[in-house]
Structure 1
């Protein structure tokens, strides 16, 4: 059906179509409901959900391709990039290669130990803003590294990244020029919410869970209590089973439609019962609002070390071929380096295959 590798992916395709349809209707026919604050709020809320759903679909897509055809997958990735305003190929370094392999370790830029607020509400609210910069820097290093590897796979990944970046960037500029107010209400805010939501899920699913030390990771230790699961039917319907996190970490390429069944069969008999949360909303209230205590899955207070959080370890070296040193693909992320890169952005938008990254290193 439509070249889908799994018929269950028809629903994500419909969800992405609904995102574009509702966004178009809100932008075009705003005058019909703009006088009603309640209707305007509900419209933004609905668009924000579908944008966030696009982020969860992106997560599933980057673990398991949706279509048989190569070009169908490329087009699909562009469409997904536009649903939440971020090149989806960056999910590979930012999530698949770092978070999955080094969960909660120094090589994981999304580890929850970076959050040190005594008020746990702030840990949940500010998790995404605090880790976003480190994730972005690692993404840029990995993408730059791929641009220097002369293999078909590396060049295809780099080209996909640049294609998605260019289209998202150009679309953003066009919509901003067309109507700045509508852009921020119907595009920017839903995209921000989607990116905040998908990254913040990491705080919900890993904080206070077991950590597998790096010394034993190469032995493929099964970490049954390393993830928190949200097993209620509503949240998993809305997020395409993103609540089933333990089985996903054990088998990252398993299709999302199989996760509930495999969770019941494989994970539930071995996981600690407290790591199966029925309702995400109730957990959020309990963990971040009232009583708002930062507890591990055994009910003990999560201890925050007195010493500062160590800097991230550079995981990208693990994927570099022989002869390619870290200094060969480092990118200057200082304000001077960013200023030097600004004149190259229009060229990158017009010529996605042009590779100027080395010029700002």
Structure 2
């Protein structure tokens, strides 16, 4: 993906650049899932290779090295059952369901401020994050100086778009569920056409139960706990779009 971006950056122009950027967005969504899984279980044994890989992923997803470790691993995973502490809360102040558009807009804008807030309790990790943030932006700044137009189209705009898409997917996975336990708090997709490009993120309850489990083992864990997940939290909508009214009716039908 990065090689394609570079090829387009140096050799494309005009409408071709815009069309190529739009065509690559679905692939970059899959890169976002890779970035997520990588922050849970690093891809490489050697730390420098992992940080380099995260720089490459940053130029596709907008999530810089160690950013997801702070915001997602330490923040969301530890606190998603507490709506008052989750760095990506889906409830309004009065406890009502936050509209999807508002959740995506607010929480996308708050990703890096939340990283700063969480980082105050993890100073050493936060300092490493800041150093890597500077390093990760060096190639981006260089690209902007060399060819501002192509850098904006092929890197900056997709990076911002991926953050919005990431939060939209998170809303679909969690909003309108429950806070009682892992089995009540995540929406799952069992379809292969969702789990192949998302690297098994559809098995989301299993992922939250054991976030350090390698993504390839999530289907097995999901099969073991499937009977404990309420039926209304298994969806066949690959965009994780759902209607609150329909959700409530399904919950009532599933209640004894």
Q: Classify the TM-score, shorter chain.
A: 0.7 to 0.9
Asked whether 1:256 is paired with 2:215, we answer yes
Quote the offset at 1:300 in angstroms. Answer: 6.6
- Of 175, 179, 190, which aligns to 1:231? 190
Asked whether 1:67 is paired with 2:44, we answer yes
Indicate the residue corresponding to 1:191 in structure 2: 159
CA distance in 2, matches of 1:298, 1:23: 44
Quote the offset at 1:45 in angstroms. Answer: 2.3
Q: Secondary structure at the match of 1:101?
A: helix
CA distance in 2, matches of 1:43, 1:235: 23
8 Å contact 2:183–2:205 — kept in the other structure? yes
8 Å contact 2:2–2:56 — kept in the other structure? no
Asked whether 1:272 is paired with 2:226, we answer no
Indicate the residue corresponding to 1:110 in structure 2: 88
Indicate the residue corresponding to 2:60 in structure 1: 83
* Structure label with greater radius of gyration: 1
Aligned pair count reads 249
8 Å contact 1:52–1:193 — kept in the other structure? no
- When normalised by structure 1's length, the TM-score is 0.62
Indicate the residue corresponding to 1:123 in structure 2: 99
Quote the offset at 1:59 in angstroms. Answer: 1.1
Quote the offset at 1:40 in angstroms. Answer: 5.0
Quote the offset at 1:298 in angstroms. Answer: 4.2
CA distance in 1, matches of 2:93, 2:250: 17
Q: Secondary structure at the match of 2:78?
A: coil
Asked whether 1:136 is paired with 2:104, we answer no
Q: Residues 1-361 of structure 1 correspond to what in structure 2 (within 5 A)? A: 19-31=1-13, 34=14, 40=17, 42-103=19-80, 104-114=82-92, 123-147=99-123, 154=124, 157-212=125-180, 222-266=181-225, 268-281=226-239, 283-284=240-241, 287=242, 293-295=243-245, 297-299=247-249
CA distance in 1, matches of 2:131, 2:28: 20
- When normalised by structure 2's length, the TM-score is 0.85
| Distance verdict in 2 for CA 1:138–1:125, change over 3 Å | closer
**1:64-106 Cα shifts (integer Å, max 9, x gaps):** 1211222222222222223223313121221112211221520
Q: Secondary structure at the match of 1:237?
A: helix
| Distance verdict in 2 for CA 1:50–1:258, change over 3 Å | same
Quote the offset at 1:109 in angstroms. Answer: 2.2
Structure 2: gaps (5+ residues):
252-256
